[in-house]
Structure 1
Protein backbone atom coordinates (compact mmCIF):
# COMPACT_ATOMS: atom_id res chain seq x y z
CA UNK A 1 0.00 0.00 0.00
CA UNK A 2 1.21 3.47 -0.81
CA UNK A 3 2.13 5.54 2.21
CA UNK A 4 2.12 9.28 2.78
CA UNK A 5 4.71 10.68 2.50
CA UNK A 6 6.65 8.32 0.24
CA UNK A 7 10.41 8.56 0.19
CA UNK A 8 12.07 8.24 -3.18
CA UNK A 9 14.92 5.74 -3.22
CA UNK A 10 18.35 6.79 -4.38
CA UNK A 11 18.40 10.37 -3.15
CA UNK A 12 18.53 12.16 0.22
CA UNK A 13 15.20 13.11 1.74
CA UNK A 14 14.46 16.83 1.46
CA UNK A 15 13.28 18.32 4.75
CA UNK A 16 11.02 21.23 5.58
CA UNK A 17 12.39 24.28 7.34
CA UNK A 18 10.55 25.59 10.40
CA UNK A 19 9.13 28.46 8.35
CA UNK A 20 7.89 26.09 5.65
CA UNK A 21 6.25 23.91 8.30
CA UNK A 22 4.43 26.91 9.80
CA UNK A 23 3.30 28.10 6.37
CA UNK A 24 1.88 24.69 5.43
CA UNK A 25 0.26 24.27 8.84
CA UNK A 26 -1.43 27.67 8.52
CA UNK A 27 -2.84 26.62 5.15
CA UNK A 28 -4.63 23.61 6.64
CA UNK A 29 -5.09 24.73 10.25
CA UNK A 30 -8.81 25.55 10.02
CA UNK A 31 -9.88 22.28 8.40
CA UNK A 32 -7.66 20.20 10.70
CA UNK A 33 -9.08 21.91 13.78
CA UNK A 34 -12.61 21.37 12.53
CA UNK A 35 -11.81 17.70 11.98
CA UNK A 36 -10.58 17.38 15.57
CA UNK A 37 -13.66 19.20 16.89
CA UNK A 38 -15.93 16.69 15.15
CA UNK A 39 -13.83 13.63 15.96
CA UNK A 40 -13.20 13.81 19.71
CA UNK A 41 -15.93 12.85 22.17
CA UNK A 42 -14.85 15.24 24.91
CA UNK A 43 -15.29 18.85 23.77
CA UNK A 44 -13.09 20.15 26.58
CA UNK A 45 -9.96 18.55 25.07
CA UNK A 46 -10.32 19.79 21.48
CA UNK A 47 -7.66 22.49 21.86
CA UNK A 48 -5.31 20.11 23.68
CA UNK A 49 -5.67 17.37 21.06
CA UNK A 50 -5.01 19.79 18.22
CA UNK A 51 -2.00 21.31 19.97
CA UNK A 52 -0.66 17.85 20.76
CA UNK A 53 -0.95 16.88 17.09
CA UNK A 54 0.90 20.00 15.96
CA UNK A 55 3.67 19.38 18.49
CA UNK A 56 3.94 15.74 17.43
CA UNK A 57 4.18 16.77 13.78
CA UNK A 58 6.92 19.27 14.56
CA UNK A 59 8.90 16.66 16.51
CA UNK A 60 8.57 14.24 13.57
CA UNK A 61 9.46 16.84 10.96
CA UNK A 62 12.69 15.06 10.11
CA UNK A 63 10.58 12.08 8.95
CA UNK A 64 8.57 14.14 6.47
CA UNK A 65 9.88 14.64 2.96
CA UNK A 66 9.36 18.13 1.57
CA UNK A 67 7.26 18.14 -1.57
CA UNK A 68 5.11 15.16 -0.60
CA UNK A 69 1.56 15.18 0.78
CA UNK A 70 1.78 17.36 3.91
CA UNK A 71 -2.01 17.53 4.28
CA UNK A 72 -2.41 13.73 4.35
CA UNK A 73 0.55 13.42 6.73
CA UNK A 74 -1.06 15.90 9.14
CA UNK A 75 -4.43 14.17 8.92
CA UNK A 76 -2.79 10.90 9.90
CA UNK A 77 -1.14 12.47 12.95
CA UNK A 78 -4.32 14.30 13.96
CA UNK A 79 -6.39 11.13 13.54
CA UNK A 80 -4.01 9.17 15.77
CA UNK A 81 -4.25 11.86 18.46
CA UNK A 82 -8.05 11.71 18.27
CA UNK A 83 -7.89 7.94 18.72
CA UNK A 84 -5.81 8.34 21.86
CA UNK A 85 -8.06 11.05 23.30
CA UNK A 86 -11.20 9.01 22.69
CA UNK A 87 -9.73 5.91 24.29
CA UNK A 88 -9.10 7.95 27.42
CA UNK A 89 -12.61 9.31 27.52
CA UNK A 90 -15.34 7.10 28.89
CA UNK A 91 -17.67 6.53 26.00
CA UNK A 92 -21.37 7.21 26.57
CA UNK A 93 -23.37 4.27 25.27
CA UNK A 94 -26.92 4.01 24.01
CA UNK A 95 -28.81 0.94 22.91
CA UNK A 96 -28.96 1.70 19.21
CA UNK A 97 -30.28 -1.79 18.49
CA UNK A 98 -33.47 -0.91 20.39
CA UNK A 99 -34.52 1.58 17.70
CA UNK A 100 -36.86 -0.08 15.23
CA UNK A 101 -35.95 1.28 11.81
CA UNK A 102 -39.26 0.06 10.36
CA UNK A 103 -41.04 2.77 12.35
CA UNK A 104 -39.44 5.49 10.27
CA UNK A 105 -39.14 6.37 6.61
CA UNK A 106 -36.77 9.01 5.27
CA UNK A 107 -38.18 11.37 2.66
CA UNK A 108 -36.57 10.32 -0.65
CA UNK A 109 -35.56 13.88 -1.54
CA UNK A 110 -33.89 14.37 1.85
CA UNK A 111 -32.05 11.06 1.66
CA UNK A 112 -30.74 11.93 -1.80
CA UNK A 113 -29.45 15.28 -0.57
CA UNK A 114 -27.99 13.72 2.58
CA UNK A 115 -25.95 11.29 0.47
CA UNK A 116 -25.08 13.76 -2.29
CA UNK A 117 -24.15 16.58 0.09
CA UNK A 118 -23.28 15.05 3.49
CA UNK A 119 -21.63 18.26 4.70
CA UNK A 120 -24.97 20.09 4.32
CA UNK A 121 -26.59 17.40 6.47
CA UNK A 122 -23.74 17.68 8.98
CA UNK A 123 -24.41 21.39 9.41
CA UNK A 124 -28.22 21.09 9.27
CA UNK A 125 -28.37 18.70 12.22
CA UNK A 126 -25.39 20.27 14.00
CA UNK A 127 -25.38 19.33 17.70
CA UNK A 128 -27.62 16.28 17.34
CA UNK A 129 -25.49 14.92 14.53
CA UNK A 130 -22.34 15.60 16.52
CA UNK A 131 -23.72 13.53 19.38
CA UNK A 132 -24.70 10.76 16.99
CA UNK A 133 -21.22 10.84 15.44
CA UNK A 134 -19.79 9.96 18.83
CA UNK A 135 -21.64 6.66 18.73
CA UNK A 136 -19.89 5.54 15.55
CA UNK A 137 -16.82 3.37 15.73
CA UNK A 138 -13.49 5.17 15.49
CA UNK A 139 -12.91 4.07 11.90
CA UNK A 140 -16.48 4.78 10.79
CA UNK A 141 -16.31 8.31 12.16
CA UNK A 142 -12.85 9.04 10.78
CA UNK A 143 -13.83 7.84 7.30
CA UNK A 144 -17.02 9.90 7.35
CA UNK A 145 -15.25 13.06 8.51
CA UNK A 146 -12.38 12.69 6.05
CA UNK A 147 -14.95 12.33 3.28
CA UNK A 148 -17.20 15.23 4.32
CA UNK A 149 -14.90 17.75 6.01
CA UNK A 150 -11.55 17.04 4.37
CA UNK A 151 -13.14 16.23 0.98
CA UNK A 152 -10.77 13.29 0.62
CA UNK A 153 -11.30 10.62 -2.01
CA UNK A 154 -11.67 6.98 -0.98
CA UNK A 155 -8.07 6.41 -2.08
CA UNK A 156 -6.82 9.34 0.00
CA UNK A 157 -8.74 8.14 3.06
CA UNK A 158 -7.24 4.69 2.61
CA UNK A 159 -3.76 6.22 2.48
CA UNK A 160 -4.28 8.36 5.59
CA UNK A 161 -5.76 5.54 7.68
CA UNK A 162 -3.56 2.87 6.08
CA UNK A 163 -6.46 0.57 5.25
CA UNK A 164 -7.72 -0.85 1.92
CA UNK A 165 -10.14 1.20 -0.18
CA UNK A 166 -12.73 -1.57 0.17
CA UNK A 167 -12.52 -1.26 3.96
CA UNK A 168 -13.08 2.50 3.68
CA UNK A 169 -16.24 1.86 1.66
CA UNK A 170 -17.44 -0.67 4.24
CA UNK A 171 -16.88 1.76 7.14
CA UNK A 172 -18.75 4.50 5.27
CA UNK A 173 -21.70 2.23 4.47
CA UNK A 174 -21.97 1.02 8.06
CA UNK A 175 -21.53 4.52 9.43
CA UNK A 176 -24.30 5.94 7.24
CA UNK A 177 -26.67 3.15 8.27
CA UNK A 178 -25.96 3.69 11.95
CA UNK A 179 -26.29 7.46 11.61
CA UNK A 180 -29.75 7.08 10.08
CA UNK A 181 -30.79 4.92 13.01
CA UNK A 182 -29.39 7.24 15.67
CA UNK A 183 -30.95 10.33 14.09
CA UNK A 184 -34.38 8.81 13.43
CA UNK A 185 -36.11 10.17 16.54
CA UNK A 186 -34.49 13.60 16.24
CA UNK A 187 -35.39 13.88 12.57
CA UNK A 188 -38.98 12.83 13.24
CA UNK A 189 -39.37 15.41 16.00
CA UNK A 190 -37.98 18.09 13.69
CA UNK A 191 -40.34 17.18 10.88
CA UNK A 192 -37.58 15.86 8.63
CA UNK A 193 -39.01 12.34 8.41
CA UNK A 194 -42.49 10.91 8.80
CA UNK A 195 -43.71 8.22 11.16
CA UNK A 196 -44.83 5.27 9.08
CA UNK A 197 -47.06 3.75 11.76
CA UNK A 198 -49.03 6.91 12.47
CA UNK A 199 -48.91 8.21 8.93
CA UNK A 200 -48.11 11.71 10.21
CA UNK A 201 -46.34 13.78 7.57
CA UNK A 202 -43.78 16.52 8.24
CA UNK A 203 -45.19 20.00 8.58
CA UNK A 204 -43.64 21.02 5.26
CA UNK A 205 -45.74 18.36 3.48
CA UNK A 206 -49.07 19.08 5.15
CA UNK A 207 -51.66 20.92 3.17
CA UNK A 208 -52.33 24.49 4.21
Structure 2
Protein backbone atom coordinates (compact mmCIF):
# COMPACT_ATOMS: atom_id res chain seq x y z
CA UNK A 1 0.00 0.00 0.00
CA UNK A 2 1.24 3.48 -0.84
CA UNK A 3 1.86 5.95 1.97
CA UNK A 4 -1.18 8.19 1.86
CA UNK A 5 -1.14 11.97 1.73
CA UNK A 6 -4.93 11.75 2.03
CA UNK A 7 -5.86 12.23 5.69
CA UNK A 8 -6.72 8.85 7.21
CA UNK A 9 -8.04 7.39 3.97
CA UNK A 10 -6.82 4.85 1.48
CA UNK A 11 -4.55 6.30 -1.17
CA UNK A 12 -6.36 6.46 -4.54
CA UNK A 13 -3.18 5.18 -6.23
CA UNK A 14 -4.00 1.76 -4.73
CA UNK A 15 -7.15 1.70 -6.88
CA UNK A 16 -5.29 2.28 -10.18
CA UNK A 17 -4.47 -1.40 -10.74
CA UNK A 18 -8.14 -2.43 -10.54
CA UNK A 19 -8.88 -0.49 -13.73
CA UNK A 20 -6.07 -1.85 -15.91
CA UNK A 21 -8.25 -4.34 -17.83
CA UNK A 22 -10.89 -1.83 -18.85
CA UNK A 23 -8.24 0.77 -19.64
CA UNK A 24 -6.55 -1.70 -21.99
CA UNK A 25 -9.84 -2.57 -23.68
CA UNK A 26 -10.59 1.12 -24.19
CA UNK A 27 -7.07 1.75 -25.47
CA UNK A 28 -7.43 -1.15 -27.93
CA UNK A 29 -10.70 0.28 -29.19
CA UNK A 30 -9.00 3.58 -29.91
CA UNK A 31 -5.67 2.56 -31.41
CA UNK A 32 -6.40 -0.98 -32.70
CA UNK A 33 -2.89 -2.22 -31.88
CA UNK A 34 -2.10 -4.19 -28.73
CA UNK A 35 1.46 -2.89 -28.32
CA UNK A 36 0.33 0.71 -28.77
CA UNK A 37 -2.59 0.07 -26.40
CA UNK A 38 -0.21 -1.24 -23.75
CA UNK A 39 1.98 1.86 -24.14
CA UNK A 40 -1.10 4.07 -23.92
CA UNK A 41 -2.24 2.38 -20.70
CA UNK A 42 1.24 2.71 -19.24
CA UNK A 43 1.35 6.43 -20.13
CA UNK A 44 -2.11 6.87 -18.62
CA UNK A 45 -1.18 5.21 -15.34
CA UNK A 46 2.03 7.23 -15.12
CA UNK A 47 0.14 10.48 -15.71
CA UNK A 48 -2.53 9.49 -13.19
CA UNK A 49 0.12 8.60 -10.61
CA UNK A 50 1.85 11.95 -11.05
CA UNK A 51 -1.45 13.87 -11.00
CA UNK A 52 -3.14 11.97 -8.17
CA UNK A 53 -3.40 15.21 -6.24
CA UNK A 54 -5.88 16.53 -8.80
CA UNK A 55 -8.17 13.49 -8.33
CA UNK A 56 -11.16 14.50 -6.25
CA UNK A 57 -11.86 11.92 -3.56
CA UNK A 58 -15.37 10.53 -3.88
CA UNK A 59 -15.53 10.94 -7.66
CA UNK A 60 -15.35 8.21 -10.30
CA UNK A 61 -11.72 7.03 -10.61
CA UNK A 62 -12.50 5.01 -13.76
CA UNK A 63 -14.01 8.02 -15.53
CA UNK A 64 -10.99 10.12 -14.52
CA UNK A 65 -8.59 7.49 -15.90
CA UNK A 66 -10.58 7.10 -19.12
CA UNK A 67 -10.43 10.85 -19.64
CA UNK A 68 -6.65 10.83 -19.17
CA UNK A 69 -6.32 7.89 -21.58
CA UNK A 70 -8.57 9.49 -24.18
CA UNK A 71 -6.72 12.82 -24.02
CA UNK A 72 -3.35 11.05 -24.22
CA UNK A 73 -4.51 9.06 -27.24
CA UNK A 74 -5.70 12.12 -29.15
CA UNK A 75 -2.54 14.06 -28.29
CA UNK A 76 -0.40 11.18 -29.57
CA UNK A 77 -2.70 10.71 -32.58
CA UNK A 78 -2.22 14.32 -33.65
CA UNK A 79 1.56 13.85 -33.46
CA UNK A 80 1.54 10.72 -35.62
CA UNK A 81 -1.18 11.68 -38.09
CA UNK A 82 1.07 11.09 -41.11
CA UNK A 83 1.57 7.38 -40.40
CA UNK A 84 -0.15 4.92 -42.73
CA UNK A 85 -2.96 3.06 -41.00
CA UNK A 86 -5.12 0.18 -42.17
CA UNK A 87 -8.25 2.32 -41.90
CA UNK A 88 -10.26 0.48 -44.54
CA UNK A 89 -9.34 -2.93 -43.12
CA UNK A 90 -7.73 -4.00 -46.41
CA UNK A 91 -4.73 -5.66 -44.77
CA UNK A 92 -6.82 -7.15 -41.98
CA UNK A 93 -9.25 -8.59 -44.54
CA UNK A 94 -6.41 -10.42 -46.30
CA UNK A 95 -5.57 -12.36 -43.16
CA UNK A 96 -6.80 -15.92 -43.30
CA UNK A 97 -8.40 -17.94 -40.55
CA UNK A 98 -9.01 -21.66 -40.78
CA UNK A 99 -12.74 -22.33 -41.29
CA UNK A 100 -12.94 -24.92 -38.50
CA UNK A 101 -12.23 -22.23 -35.92
CA UNK A 102 -15.68 -20.69 -35.70
CA UNK A 103 -14.93 -18.75 -32.52
CA UNK A 104 -11.74 -17.26 -33.91
CA UNK A 105 -13.50 -16.47 -37.19
CA UNK A 106 -16.37 -14.73 -35.39
CA UNK A 107 -13.89 -12.73 -33.35
CA UNK A 108 -11.90 -11.83 -36.46
CA UNK A 109 -15.10 -10.80 -38.26
CA UNK A 110 -16.10 -8.63 -35.33
CA UNK A 111 -12.68 -7.00 -35.01
CA UNK A 112 -12.52 -6.24 -38.74
CA UNK A 113 -16.00 -4.70 -38.56
CA UNK A 114 -15.23 -2.89 -35.31
CA UNK A 115 -12.07 -1.38 -36.79
CA UNK A 116 -14.08 0.00 -39.72
CA UNK A 117 -16.18 2.16 -37.39
CA UNK A 118 -15.26 5.84 -37.17
CA UNK A 119 -13.18 6.74 -34.10
CA UNK A 120 -16.11 8.44 -32.34
CA UNK A 121 -18.36 5.38 -32.74
CA UNK A 122 -15.67 2.93 -31.59
CA UNK A 123 -15.00 5.10 -28.60
CA UNK A 124 -18.71 5.44 -27.75
CA UNK A 125 -19.55 1.75 -28.02
CA UNK A 126 -16.49 0.82 -25.97
CA UNK A 127 -17.31 3.26 -23.19
CA UNK A 128 -21.02 2.39 -23.01
CA UNK A 129 -21.08 -1.23 -24.20
CA UNK A 130 -17.83 -2.67 -22.92
CA UNK A 131 -16.90 -0.47 -19.98
CA UNK A 132 -20.38 -0.01 -18.58
CA UNK A 133 -20.41 3.75 -18.36
CA UNK A 134 -23.78 5.48 -18.44
CA UNK A 135 -24.44 7.57 -21.53
CA UNK A 136 -24.09 10.75 -19.47
CA UNK A 137 -20.72 9.69 -18.00
CA UNK A 138 -19.38 8.70 -21.42
CA UNK A 139 -20.64 11.97 -22.89
CA UNK A 140 -18.86 13.98 -20.19
CA UNK A 141 -15.60 12.09 -20.79
CA UNK A 142 -15.80 12.82 -24.52
CA UNK A 143 -16.98 16.40 -24.11
CA UNK A 144 -20.24 15.90 -26.02
CA UNK A 145 -23.95 16.04 -25.23
CA UNK A 146 -25.66 12.91 -23.88
CA UNK A 147 -27.84 12.75 -27.00
CA UNK A 148 -24.75 12.79 -29.18
CA UNK A 149 -23.30 9.86 -27.22
CA UNK A 150 -26.57 7.91 -27.60
CA UNK A 151 -26.54 8.58 -31.35
CA UNK A 152 -22.93 7.43 -31.69
CA UNK A 153 -23.64 4.18 -29.84
CA UNK A 154 -26.79 3.55 -31.89
CA UNK A 155 -25.00 4.25 -35.19
CA UNK A 156 -22.11 2.00 -34.16
CA UNK A 157 -24.48 -0.86 -33.37
CA UNK A 158 -26.36 -0.37 -36.65
CA UNK A 159 -23.13 -0.28 -38.64
CA UNK A 160 -21.82 -3.42 -36.94
CA UNK A 161 -25.07 -5.21 -37.83
CA UNK A 162 -24.56 -4.16 -41.47
CA UNK A 163 -20.86 -5.05 -41.58
CA UNK A 164 -21.42 -8.43 -39.94
CA UNK A 165 -24.36 -9.09 -42.26
CA UNK A 166 -26.70 -9.96 -39.41
CA UNK A 167 -30.38 -10.48 -40.16
CA UNK A 168 -33.26 -9.16 -38.09
CA UNK A 169 -33.41 -12.51 -36.28
CA UNK A 170 -29.75 -12.30 -35.27
CA UNK A 171 -29.03 -10.72 -31.95
CA UNK A 172 -26.57 -7.84 -31.75
CA UNK A 173 -26.22 -7.62 -28.01
CA UNK A 174 -23.00 -5.90 -27.04
CA UNK A 175 -22.93 -6.92 -23.41
CA UNK A 176 -20.14 -5.95 -21.08
CA UNK A 177 -18.54 -9.40 -20.97
CA UNK A 178 -19.03 -10.17 -24.66
CA UNK A 179 -17.62 -6.92 -25.93
CA UNK A 180 -14.81 -6.95 -23.41
CA UNK A 181 -13.85 -10.49 -24.45
CA UNK A 182 -13.69 -9.52 -28.11
CA UNK A 183 -11.85 -6.27 -27.51
CA UNK A 184 -9.27 -7.80 -25.23
CA UNK A 185 -9.07 -11.01 -27.33
CA UNK A 186 -9.01 -13.25 -24.27
CA UNK A 187 -12.10 -15.33 -25.04
CA UNK A 188 -13.47 -16.45 -28.38
CA UNK A 189 -16.90 -15.16 -29.30
CA UNK A 190 -19.22 -17.58 -31.07
CA UNK A 191 -22.18 -16.70 -33.25
CA UNK A 192 -25.42 -18.35 -32.23
Q: TM (normalized to structure 2)?
A: 0.64
Counterpart check, 1:39 vs 2:30:
yes
Distance 1:182 1:84, change over 3 A: farther
Q: Which residue in the other structure is 1:180 paired with?
A: 161
Counterpart check, 1:92 vs 2:86:
yes
Counterpart check, 1:167 vs 2:161:
no
Note the C-alpha offset of 1:74: 0.6
Distance 2:6 2:46 in 1: 15
Q: Which residue in the other structure is 2:66 paired with?
A: 75
Distance 1:20 1:127, change over 3 A: farther
Q: TM (normalized to structure 1)?
A: 0.60
Q: Is 1:39–1:142's contact at 8 Å kept on the other side of the alignment?
A: yes
Note the C-alpha offset of 1:132: 1.9
Q: Which residue in the other structure is 2:119 paired with?
A: 138
1:87-139 deviation per Cα after TM superposition (whole angstroms, max 9, x unaligned): 535332339xxxxxxxxxxxxxxxxxxxxxxxxxxx99323212222221221
Counterpart check, 1:62 vs 2:43:
no
Distance 1:138 1:31, change over 3 A: same
Unaligned runs of 5+ in 1: 1-14, 96-122, 194-203
Distance 1:158 1:74 in 2: 15
Unaligned runs of 5+ in 2: 90-103, 172-190
Counterpart check, 1:158 vs 2:117:
no
| Secondary structure of 1:34 counterpart | helix
Count of residues paired in the alignment: 149
Note the C-alpha offset of 1:30: 1.9
| Secondary structure of 1:38 counterpart | helix
Q: Is 1:16–1:61's contact at 8 Å kept on the other side of the alignment?
A: no
Q: Which residue in the other structure is 2:184 paired with?
A: none
1:42-92 deviation per Cα after TM superposition (whole angstroms, max 9, x unaligned): 233121111011112222222221221211101111222333455535332
Higher relative contact order (CA 8 A, sep 6+): 1
